[in-house]
Every structure is written in C-alpha cells, then in structure tokens.
Amino acid sequence: MRIYREKDYEAMSRRAAQIIAAEIVHNPACLLGLATGSTPEGAYRYLVDWYKQGLLSFKNVRSVNLDEYVGLAPDHDQSYRYFMQSNLFGHVDINPANTRVPDGLTLDAKAFCDEYDAFIRAQGYVDLQLLGIGRNGHIGFNEPGGFFVKETHVVDLTESTIDANARFFASRDDVPKQAISMGMGAIMGAKKVLLCASGEEKADAICGSVLGSISPSCPASILQLHPDVIVVVDEAAFSKLAAAGFQA
Ligand code: F6R
C-alpha cells in the first residue's frame, strides 16, 4: 500500500487525477472502475480540464461504475448515472456506449448483477479502480457486516450511509434504502486500486482500513490483501493514522 498524504481536498484531487490520467496515457483503452460522491468530484474536474486543454483523451476508455441507487432512473438528478454524466462523461470524449453504471431500475436484479460481474470478468477485470470510503469503512456500497460479499449485489444501506447521503436529497426520507453495488470480487480483482479520502470524518475509517485487522466490520480493510493499492488522503483524513504514529 502506497500512501500519499496531501495538504487538502484540492491537492488530494489533483494527485488522484494524475494517477487516473497516467493510467489513461499508459493504456488508452483501459477499463476504469469509477466512483461517485463528493470525494472524486475534484479529481473529475481536473480530468475534464486536462481533456479540454488537449492533454488527455477518453476516446477509447471504458468504464464501469461501482454502484447505483435502487429505484432511481438514470435521469434522476441524484442517480449515479446522472452524477457521472454531469461530472465527467458529459464533458469528455468518452463513448457513452463504453460506460456502464448499474441499472437502478432493473426488474431482475439477480440477472443484472450476474451479467455485470460476467462483463467485468470477461474484460480481465478493471485496470484502475477508484474508490471513496464511507465513514463506516464501506467501499462501493459494501456495508459493514458479518462477511465480505463477493458478487455484485443489492444491498440494504445502513442508517449511517443514509444519514451521510441525506445531504444530497430534499429530505432523509427521500434517500433510497437500497443500492446495487459491485462486490469485493470485482474490486479486489482490479489490477490497481486508488482509494481517496478527505476530511476528518473519514479519519477513523482510513485508520481502520490501513492499520486495523482485516474484517468485514470495516470493509475497506480487505484492501490490505490487494497487491497494488494507492491511498490518497488529505491531512484531515490522515489525522488518525498520524496520531497512531504512522509515517507517510
Ligand atoms: C460511491 C461509493 C461510495 C462513496 C462513499 C463516500 O460510488 O461507492 O462508497 O465513495 O460513500 O462518499 P463521499 O465521497 O460522498 O464522502
């Protein structure tokens, strides 16, 4: 695990964008695993800027997203498909046919999830998987629990996640209670993982993931078993690691 300790959100975003851009330059037809939420917004902004400056092309890039809320249509302004369109896909030259986000409206979730995993496996897994992290240590929507779930699956969101995501909705009641999430099989199958976190509220989750025991009670701790993980955090998210004497 390589850890980049950056000054603030902006520096974290720039570093993450550099790592994603390097992957695209190195492998123009790479399969990127993408995340949504506040954490990657800044990195996507840098990537869009670099595309507009002619420094980067997404022409042959392919992508699969980690998750989507159950029940939200792609054009719902809180759906993750909508997020990807507004923060990245809509501003770069990626071929829309090469982008995948789980279908929150699927009528056959089991078949959909199986197909999603089959697609990722058939591509030889993701080249670079971008991850944010929940305050409870979730990655994708793999919530803390008694075991790690391998397959893409429908998950009941925890109260902590619903609370955290209520800020995006008119009221807490409007937050969907379920999501479709990639499982740990697809995440751990990625050739490289880029985990980003910003802010003090992520400090415990980051510390637990890096230094804690590997346990489904802190889902991101499974990344300790992955051979190629880059963690990019700002000072606030690093603070509990610093307090534990961890050097980066
Ligand atoms: C989003 C995702 C989630 C978020 C996590 C952190 O696609 O998979 O795991 O990365 O909930 O969200 P933010 O970045 O909004 O703090």
pLDDT digits (tens, 9 = 90+) for 163-191: 999 999 999 999 999 999 999 999 999 99
- Whether the CB-CB separation of 129 and 194 falls below 8 Å is answered with yes
Distance 132 CA to ligand 1 centre (A): 5
Identified catalytic residue from 68, 87, 117, 136: 136
Considering the chain, what is the average pLDDT of its residues?
97
- The one catalytic residue among 6, 103, 127, 143: 143
Question: 41: pLDDT confidence band, cut at 50, 70 and 90?
Answer: very high
Reduced to 3 states (helix: H, G, I; strand: E, B; else coil), residue 222 is: helix
The amino acid present at 174, given as its one-letter code, is: D
Say if residues 183 and 149 touch (Cβ distance below 8 Å). yes
Q: What is the pLDDT of residues 3-32, one digit of tens each?
A: 999 999 999 999 999 999 999 999 999 999
pLDDT at 57 over 90: yes
pLDDT digits (tens, 9 = 90+) for 67-112: 999 999 999 999 999 999 999 999 999 999 999 999 999 999 999 9
Which residues, at least 6 apart from 245, have a Cβ–Cβ distance to it below 8 Å?
none
SS3 139: strand
Active-site hit among 6, 23, 65, 67: 67
pLDDT of residue 102: 98
Considering the chain, what percentage of its residues have pLDDT values greater than 90? 98
Consecutive H or E run containing 110? helix 109-122
Nearest CA to ligand 1 atom 15: 37
- Going from the Cα of 165 to the center of ligand 1, the distance in angstroms, rounded, reads 9
Instruction: Decide if pLDDT at 248 tops 90.
Output: no
Query: Which of 164, 232, 244 has its CA nearest to residue 5?
Result: 232
Site residues for ligand 1, CB cut-off 6 Å: 35-39, 66-67, 132-134, 138-141
Q: Given the DSSP bridges, would you call strands 178-181 and 153-156 parallel, antiparallel or unpaired?
A: antiparallel
Q: Catalytic site residue 67? A: yes
User: Can you tell me which atom of ligand 1 is nearest the CA of 132?
Assistant: 10
Q: Whose CA is nearest to atom 10 of ligand 1?
A: 132
Distances 42 to 106, 121, 240 between C-alpha atoms, Å: 30, 29, 23
